[in-house]
C-alpha cells in the first residue's frame, strides 16, 4: 500500500527546487514541460549526450538551463530523472553514483523495463539517495524534444517500482509530482512490471515486426510481389503500426527483458500450433470460438486509460474526391485551435466519396475535431 498523498494546490510551493532531466527527447521533454506547467519543479535543467538537444530545449522553453556534463547538472538537484534508453541509463547510473549528490535526492527513470535498472540502482547508489523506478505508459509516433507535449501523460498509467524500504516521504513526493501531470500511478514490483509489459507491449512489437518481415519477403515474389505492398496500404498498416519504432531502442528493450520474452514467444508457438490444428477442423467451430473469445476480451478492455502501447486518436471522414478538401479540413482545425497531428487518404474511388484519415495527439483534440467536422457537414467515423 502506498502512503496517502495530498494533492498540491496551485498556491503551494513547488515540490522540488531543482530537477534534472537526463536525456532530452520526447519523454524527457514532455515530462519537463508537464512538471513546469503544473508547478511541481521550480527550476528544471537538462543534460544530454547530444548538446544541441539541450540547447533546443532551452530555446523552446522546455527547461530553464542546459548543462554539458552530468556533474554540473545534478549539483544540488532534488529530483533526477533518467529519460534515456535502458542500456544508457544503466551506464549513467554508474557515473551518477560516483558524484556528490544532495542528501534526500530522489532519482527515477522512465525505462520500459524495470528489473535491470532497479537492480543497478540498488547496487550502486549511496544511502540517503532515494531511487524509485518509473515507466510512464505514454508515447508518440514523433521523437525528439521538438515533439514534447505537456499533455502527453494525461490519463496515462504511470508505473512506479519502489524498492522495499523506500522512504515514505520521498515516495509520496514523487507520486504527488506524477499526479500533478494528470497521470495515474500504479505501483508494481519490477519483475511483475516486466512480465506484464512483455506480454502487452514487447512481444506484440516483435510479432508486428515479424508480420512486416513476412510481407516484405513475399513482396519479392517475381510475379505478384507488388500486390503485397499495394494492398498492405490499408488495414495491414494499422495492425503493424507499432513495428515502426526505433530499432536500437527496441533492441535494448528486448535484450533487457529477454528471459520473459523468450517464455512468451514459446507460449506463442504453442498458440500457433493450436491454430494450425483448428484449421484442420471441417466445421471451423474451434476457429469461431477462438475469434469470439478474443473479440470479447478485447472489447472489454478499458478505454479511458492509456496503456503500454501508444493510444491512437483517429477519426475518418467521407470527403468528395475533389481538390481542396484536405486543405479545408486543416483550416477548420486551425481556426478552432485544434492540434491536428496528421492527415492521410485512406481510399479514393472515382465518382464516389473518398475516406480521409485524421489523427490527433489527444482524445480531447479528437473529440473537439469531430464536433467541428460534424457541424460543418462532414460524416465522421470513430476508429476503434
Q: What is the pTM of this model?
A: 0.76
DSSP for 59-95, please give it: HTTS-SEEESSHHHHHTT-SEEEE-S-HHHHHHHHHH
The domains found in the chain, sorted by start residue, are 16-188 (3.40.50.720), 193-268 (1.10.3660.10), 313-382 (3.30.70.260)
- What sign has the CA pseudo-torsion 20, 184, 155, 239? positive
Could you give the percent of the chain with pLDDT greater than 90?
54
Residue 322 confidence (pLDDT): 63
pLDDT in tens, 41-67: 999 999 988 888 888 989 999 999 999
What cell was used for 356? 480521409
- Asked whether residue 267 carries a pLDDT value surpassing 70, the answer given is yes
Mention every residue, 6+ apart, whose C-beta is less than 8 A from residue 32: 19, 21, 24, 44, 46, 57, 62, 63, 148
pLDDT in tens, 311-327: 567 788 876 656 677 78
Hey, which bits of the chain come out as E strands? 16-22, 41-47, 65-67, 79-82, 106-109, 130-136, 157-161, 184-187, 313-320, 340-347, 353-360, 380-382
CA 21 from centroid of its chain's CA atoms: 17
CA–CA distance, 31 with 139 (Å, rounded to integer): 11
pLDDT in tens, 213-239: 999 999 988 888 888 888 887 678 878
Q: Who wins on pLDDT, 173 or 342?
A: 173
Do 22 and 138 contact (CB within 8 A), yes or no? no
pLDDT in tens, 271-311: 999 999 999 988 889 999 999 999 999 888 776 555 555 55
Q: Which residues pair with 65 in a beta bridge?
A: 45
Amino acid at each position: 500500500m502506498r502512503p496517502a498523498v495530498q494533492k498540491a494546490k496551485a498556491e503551494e510551493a513547488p515540490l522540488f527546487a531543482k530537477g534534472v532531466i537526463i536525456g532530452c527527447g520526447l519523454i524527457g521533454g514532455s515530462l519537463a514541460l508537464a512538471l513546469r506547467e503544473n508547478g511541481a519543479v521550480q527550476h528544471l535543467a537538462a543534460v544530454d549526450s547530444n548538446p544541441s538537444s539541450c540547447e533546443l530545449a532551452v530555446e523552446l522553453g522546455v527547461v530553464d538551463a542546459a548543462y554539458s556534463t552530468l556533474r554540473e547538472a545534478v549539483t544540488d538537484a532534488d529530483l533526477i530523472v533518467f529519460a534515456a534508453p535502458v542500456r544508457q541509463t544503466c551506464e549513467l547510473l554508474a557515473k551518477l553514483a560516483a558524484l556528490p549528490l544532495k542528501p534526500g535526492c530522489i532519482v527515477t527513470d522512465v525505462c520500459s523495463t524495470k528489473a535491470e535498472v532497479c537492480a543497478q540502482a540498488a547496487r550502486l547508489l549511496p544511502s540517503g539517495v532515494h531511487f524509485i523506478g518509473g515507466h510512464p505508459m505514454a508515447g508518440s509516433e514523433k521523437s525528439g524534444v521538438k515533439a514534447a507535449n505537456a499533455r502527453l501523460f494525461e490519463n496515462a498509467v504511470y508505473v512506479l517500482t519502489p524498492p522495499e524500504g523506500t522512504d515514505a516521504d520521498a515516495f509520496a513526493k514523487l507520486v504527488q509530482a506524477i499526479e500533478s501531470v494528470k497521470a495515474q500511478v500504479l505501483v508494481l514490483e519490477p519483475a511483475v512490471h516486466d512480465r506484464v509489459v512483455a506480454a502487452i507491449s514487447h512481444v506484440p512489437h516483435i510479432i508486428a515486426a515479424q508480420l512486416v518481415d513476412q510481407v516484405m519477403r513475399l513482396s519479392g515474389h517475381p510475379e505478384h510481389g507488388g500486390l503485397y505492398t499495394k494492398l498492405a496500404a490499408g488495414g495491414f498498416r494499422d495492425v503493424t503500426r507499432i513495428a515502426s519504432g526505433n530499432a536500437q531502442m527496441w533492441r535494448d528493450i528486448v535484450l533487457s527483458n529477454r528471459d520473459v520474452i523468450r517464455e512468451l514467444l514459446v507460449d506463442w508457438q504453442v498458440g500457433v500450433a493450436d491454430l494450425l490444428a483448428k484449421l484442420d477442423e471441417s466445421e471451423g467451430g474451434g476457429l469461431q470460438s477462438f475469434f469470439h473469445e478474443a473479440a470479447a476480451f478485447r472489447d472489454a478492455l478499458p478505454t479511458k486509460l492509456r496503456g503500454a502501447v501508444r493510444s491512437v486518436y483517429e477519426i475518418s471522414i467521407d470527403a468528395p474526391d475533389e481538390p481542396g478538401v484536405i486543405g479545408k479540413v486543416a483550416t477548420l482545425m486551425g481556426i478552432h485551435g485544434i492540434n491536428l497531428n496528421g492527415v492521410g487518404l485512406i481510399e479514393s474511388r472515382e465518382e464516389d466519396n473518398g475516406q480521409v484519415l485524421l489523427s490527433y495527439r489527444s482524445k480531447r483534440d479528437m473529440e473537439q475535431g469531430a464536433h467541428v467536422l460534424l457541424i460543418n457537414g462532414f460524416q465522421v467515423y470513430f476508429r476503434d
